A and B are shown apart, each in its own frame.
Chain A
Amino acid sequence: MSAISIEADAFAPATAADLRVARRIMWTYISTGLAIFFLMMLLGIAMRAEQAGWVTFDPGWFYALLSLHGVGMITAMAIAGLGTLWYLVRRETPLDPRIAYLAYGFFVAGALCVIIAVFPGKFGSLWTMLYPLPFVGTYWPSWATGVWLVGNALVMTGFMVWCAQILGALIARFGGILGMLGIGYVFNIRGYEEAHREPPSPQMFAAAITAIDGIIGSTFGLAAGIGMLVHWIDPSVAIDPLWAKNLIYQFGHTFANLTMYMAVAGVYVGLPLCTKREYHTSKPLAIAWWGTLLFVIIAYFHHLYMDFAQAETVQFIGEIASYLAAIPVVVVTVFSGAMLVHRSGMRWSLGSMFLYAGMIGWVVGGTAAVLDATIPINLDLHNTLWVPGHFHTYLLQGVLLFTMGWVFVTLEQRSATITSLAMRWLIGGTIFGGAAMFLLSFYIAGANGVPRRYAVEPAPGPELATVATIGALILLAGIIIAAIEALRLARLPKAQEAAA
């Protein structure tokens, strides 16, 4: 495979062979991400079933499964989103496929390390481990802590590789940072129009913000990760607990947030395919993305409201940043998306349905987050199941639906076939119905003060866990049926081949 000179070929159109390679990379990432997601879902159901009293296992295993489930879910969605985004960037500018595979290798190696740390290591202090927890008072062997830390560092390294590649490509494509962020376009729209220049497409904003904030987040994450790895090897090296907490949450919150911004690129490209209308870059869209770029890196402060040692000013900055990171881009994207669909005569295929429903899930999950980011409310809700309610909505009914929507839109376009009405009702009913039961249980439990991260919950936790488990099983059934339907569509001949 020939190497690609980024700067020289920044405008070279992708050939059919290039796009074939790019699609292979995209499907490798997406299938890996969704496979991990499915396995993590099984772990999640096992934990809710245990809380409901359906099965019993050692609390140590509960926390080990919780650790794997948390880090696995976010990494799974990130891998799927990064694959989608890589393909979309490749359509507009050259990228070296080997680097995509290198990043993928880091992700897989990191995931394997994390799995080994849990099976058989029984590592149980989650990815939000708060120093000195992974080192002191543990029930798992020390090697499991080391392998867990190495695994996380490998995932961060893979993410850094991916981000650096995309950043370099976008800078070359748009002539610098100002061009890739649409700054030149926003302040000189007339000049762009007169010169017949195109601003970056909406999906390029998603890619740019992911790349820049990804490098910033990985920097913080690796600083904490290497610091803790050194402490694991050499316990005489002290770590400041508040420093570690800030760095871990800066990376973790940014990474989790970015999964949504990766996946939303699928909406920018997929929804126009369904509606036969273009999703244009506009001034509000560009400015909203700037807000995300700036504020997503400090929004994590809302995880530290209860840390008395954190400066009070920082807490208020965190509250405002949380609003500004999420609200503008949600409003602009969802409003534009709704306008795109309005009176378009779009057929509600599985692809378009998932993309549209994903926007609703994004709004619901985002609203729960904004509530939690409000200091007086946070004090009551943050340590309850309300917060898992928020991020499960965000991931299950936002990021996952965007990813599934993109997968189905691609398969439907390829085969020029949409799923039968009965099957759409079955899949939609099980996925949305199951998710509603599963997610509402979190919110209701959280509002009733049931604490999170506990293997055994006080009332009404177990009763609601029963409802949640039933909901999760229905959701699982829906996802399995959707996966079978996706495989059926993938096996159909390409539209033009069928016509020939």
Chain B
Amino acid sequence: MKSRTVAYIVLAVTIVFAIAPTYRGQIELPVRVHHLLHAMVLVLAAFTGLLFARSAAPAKGSRAFWLIVTIVAPMLAMFLMWPSNYSPLDRLPAAHTAEHLGLALLGFLTAYAGQQYATGVGVAMSLSLWAMAFLAAWGFGVSPPLQVQTAAAAPTAAAAANAGTAPDPHHGQAVFSQNCASCHGAQGQGGMGPRLIGESSRKDLMQAEAWIENPQPPMPKLYPGTLSAQDVRDVAAYVETLK
């Protein structure tokens, strides 16, 4: 079988792999699993790029452009794997597909551009890309349970203001009903805002507090102002209990 034919087959497999999960409807995957699936997309896409480069005509003229592409593409892929976007993307199949195809394109470009620059560079940069993607699964948006972190690790403003005060999920439920339920649903089942059931698999208490303190639009920023530091803590504790 010709190299170009194999390349097209692998390309088809890559695209199917990239878009398939997005047709499963709303899915809730832990960040680590998400990273690993993305890494697989990148493996396939870069492999496709290597195959296409193998059967492509050597680049003419300056190759400096290709070197820049092969260096920048893995970094852009790492930015595209921004973990806090996973949860919203899980609920937006079209955006999720676009994100996967973006990753596939960056994986392809890393390998193809590297090989166009000089034989072997595409392979080296593909390995670099894969390493970054797999490394991400062990720490980028993924954190060990709170109790194994050092006591000094990342206290949030609310936590710092309430050092020593235990969070109260019951009070958090009341605050949630008044301020959050209109978007997230009375039981956190989702609505205009994302579903929060199972949020503890994506964010620990500290991360949930940090998110409430500094949310991304369109979620309103209620702290400080509407919510006190203790309210933030209690709501975060309540959200962690939603299973």
Contacts and interface: CB of A to CB of B under 8 A. Distances in A.
22 contacts: A96-B64, A102-B64, A137-B152, A164-B70, A164-B125, A167-B121, A216-B128, A219-B135, A220-B135, A223-B136, A226-B79, A227-B78, A234-B82, A236-B203, A237-B84, A237-B140, A238-B206, A239-B140, A239-B143, A240-B139, A241-B149, A243-B135
B83 A164 contact: no
A227 B63 CA distance: 30
B119 A230 contact: no
B165 interface: no
Main SS at interface, chain A: helix
Contact of A222 (B78, B114, B155, B214): B78
B62 interface: yes
Contacts of A240: 138-139, 142-144
A168 B78 contact: no
A164 B216 contact: no
A227 B139 contact: yes
Contacts of A218: 128
A281 interface: no
B148 interface: yes
B71 A160 contact: yes
Interface of B: 58, 61-64, 67-68, 70-71, 74-75, 78-79, 82-84, 114, 117-121, 124-125, 128, 131-132, 135-136, 138-144, 148-150, 152-155, 203-204, 206-207, 210-211, 214, 216
Contacts of B74: 219, 222
A416 interface: no
Contacts of B211: 236
A237 B117 contact: no
Interface centre among B63, B79, B204, B214 (most CB of A within 10 A): B63
A244 interface: yes
Interface of A: 3, 5-7, 96, 98-99, 102, 132, 135-137, 153, 157, 160-161, 164-165, 167-169, 171-172, 176-177, 212, 215-216, 218-220, 222-223, 226-227, 230, 234-244, 247, 309
B204 A238 contact: yes
A223 B140 contact: yes
A244 B136 CA distance: 10
A230 B82 contact: yes
A171 B117 CA distance: 12
A164 B71 contact: yes
A235 B79 contact: no
Contacts of A7: 58, 118-119
A235 B214 contact: yes
A96 B119 CA distance: 15
A220 B119 CA distance: 23
Contacts of A99: 64, 67
A238 B58 contact: no
Contacts of A215: 124-125, 128
